[in-house]
Amino acid sequence: MAAKSAPPRPMTRLYLVTPMLGGLQAPMANFAQLLAQADVAAVLVRLGTTDQPTMISTVKTLAPAIQDKGAALLLEGHAELIARSGADGAHVSGLAALSDALPTLKPHRIAGVGGLKTRHDSMTAGELGADYVLFGEPDASGQRPSLEAIIERLQWLDELFEPPCVGFAGALDEVETLARAGADFVMAGDFIWTDPRGAAAALMEAGQALRRAAASQKAGADQG
């Protein structure tokens, strides 16, 4: 009897991060059309320092363009605004922030976490109930791990960790690399918005990179 083959690995999907928003700005004007350029699983909305009514209004204005495309809308922090804004969840940094946010988010909202410096922190986040862990994002000073360190952590998470793992791409050429390393999602950083060709072209190319990674992984599995 032939051995059963392992199920195919789901294709890595994009997790888009908005620019810092104090209100609706030019890059957000055609957001629905932008999301049509690639398979975007989630959008992290970054809200600038302003009053809560303005933040809630900003999220509610963006929500149809994101959620009607089937993508989840998460806020960077501000777990206290989730219910009033209609967001699907929040992304926080560090175990303490995760512990504080979980009572507000669970069981119906997404709780994502980054800022995890050790493997033990990643395992603890999963035990606490994080829906995903992010690795490779810049810290408060703008520093991030080397690409080699990010790949090593993603491969470890992919093998041993149950919640999905997200790899932060600081440049377009990192997207395919992180997908090949085992990221379930690749978070696209500011390079989407600063690309001289425009955000739509950058997002489309990021999607193409994920398809190349998926095709390569399938070919490797078929050969195995």
Q: Angle at Cα 45 formed by Cα 167 and Cα 52, nearest 5°? A: 145
Residue 26 in this model has a pLDDT that exceeds 50: no
Burial class (CB in 10 A: 0-12, 13-18, 19+), 210: buried
Residue range 194-211, pLDDT digits in tens: 999 999 999 999 999 999
Structure tokens at 31: 């957001």
Positive/negative CA dihedral, 123, 128, 134, 135: negative
CA dihedral (35, 63, 76, 159) in degrees, to 10, reads -50
The one-character DSSP state at 39 is: -
The top-scoring range by mean pLDDT among 44-58, 148-162, 184-198 is 184-198
Q: What pLDDT was estimated at residue 122?
A: 92
Rounded average pLDDT over 127-134:
95
- 137-154 burial string, b = 16+ CB within 10 Å, else e? beeeeeebbebeebbebb
Identify the residue with better confidence: 50 or 118.
Answer: 118
Taking the C-alpha atoms of residue 164 and residue 177, their distance in angstroms, rounded to an integer, is 17
Per-residue pLDDT band for 4 (boundaries 50, 70, 90) equals very low
* Structural domains for the chain: 13-21+33-218 (3.20.20.70)
Residue 2 scores a pLDDT above 80: no
The 10s digit of each residue's pLDDT in 95-109 is: 999 999 999 999 999
